[in-house]
Amino acid sequence: MSTQAEGQSTGSDASADDGSLASKLGPLGAKRGADGRFTSLQVWVKVAIIVLYIIIATVWLPSYLMKSFAIPSDFLSDLLSASAWDTALSLIASGVWVTALAFAFWALWKAQKSDLI
């Protein structure tokens, strides 16, 4: 006679079968254990990934764009004045920043909703 508990699997086993994001991430994507907690290693790795993404995508990348394209090429200098180029570059860097931050918020929401964090 089978019981309902035999048909159910733990969170990490269930995620390995359904092709979800958690199954693709392996142990990092494992859900909480039976006691409802993550292991210390899982927590530290997830925090490191989140912090590194925030630093790279919202601090380093816009700064890199502003520095590397500060001087327009000969082609662009013929089309735009220096002040117009600065304005365009600021708008591009701001757009990258907003997009990266919005993606971070969306990814955190999605990960929380799927019980990954």
What sign has the CA pseudo-torsion 112, 114, 115, 117? negative
What whole-number distance in Å separates Cα of residue 116 and Cα of residue 22? 7
Structure-token pair, residue 8: 């159910």
> Is 57's pLDDT higher than 60?
yes
80 or 96: which leads in pLDDT: 96
pLDDT of residue 98: 93
- pTM more than 0.75: no
pLDDT at 64 over 80: yes
pLDDT of residue 18: 55
Instruction: Name the token pair of 94.
Output: 């701001």
Where are the chain's structural domains? Answer: 4-113
Closest CA to 114 of 21, 1, 10: 21
Distance, CA of 76 to CA of 107 (rounded, Å) = 36
Rounded Cα distance between 29 and 110, Å, is 13
pLDDT at position 106, please? 92
